């Protein structure tokens, strides 16, 4: 089912409250509250559109009658050329078209970041391993321990973002849940 068909069916079934829409002539878009903050407005768009591939935008060229609207999340690699409700609404096809350059740029930047941080982490761990007998409680050892912890946490963040955004194509701004036992995404 296409997004336009989803939108029409949603209207006919009364699933779309009037306060969710912003209309100007023949253009109808899904309104959102950008003042709530990036994450809160993202989840508001997710609830209203039925998918998590959109964000709330308050740019003048996208807004309708001063209302911020939900549009496909361009930085996640989704086609933002049409911000109308007929293009964005629907769990199956709303914001379903990827912009290859954005998607592959995200994948390349995240991969490069993961390589750099992984290298720093392995270097720090090898330094700890080689010098574990001579390490004492001084400022150098303490600094090394904090660098290892920082590199480990940064590495975990990049890996989780890569898994969620690139491998699983979750399209979320942030990872909601990442279980280390079995990677799952809500």
54, 46 contact by CB (below 8 A): yes
pLDDT tens-digit readout, 111-159 = 888 888 888 888 877 877 776 666 666 667 777 778 888 888 888 877 7
Q: What is the pLDDT of residues 67-119, one digit of tens each?
A: 999 988 877 677 778 888 888 888 767 788 877 777 777 778 878 888 888 88
| Nearest C-alpha neighbor of 78 from the set 63, 61, 93 | 93
Where do the structural domains in the chain lie, given as residue ranges? 3-88, 100-167
Distance CA 11, CA 117 (A): 48
């Amino acid at each position: 089912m296409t997004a336009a068909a989803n939108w029409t069916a949603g209207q006919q079934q009364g699933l779309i409250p009037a306060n969710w829409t912003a209309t100007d002539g023949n253009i109808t878009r899904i309104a959102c509250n950008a003042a709530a903050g990036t994450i809160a407005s993202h989840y508001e768009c997710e609830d209203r559109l039925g998918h998590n591939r959109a964000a709330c935008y308050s740019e003048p060229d996208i807004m309708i009658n001063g209302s911020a609207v939900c549009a496909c999340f361009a930085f996640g690699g989704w086609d933002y050329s049409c911000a109308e409700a007929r293009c964005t609404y629907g769990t199956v096809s709303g914001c379903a078209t990827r912009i290859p350059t954005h998607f592959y740029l995200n994948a390349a930047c995240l991969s490069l970041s993961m390589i750099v941080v992984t290298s720093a982490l392995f270097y720090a761990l090898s330094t700890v391993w080689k010098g574990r007998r001579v390490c004492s409680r001084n400022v150098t050892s303490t600094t090394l321990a904090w660098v290892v912890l920082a590199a480990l946490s940064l590495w975990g963040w990049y890996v989780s973002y890569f898994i969620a955004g690139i491998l699983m194509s979750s399209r979320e701004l942030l990872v909601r849940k990442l279980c280390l036992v079995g990677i799952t995404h809500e």
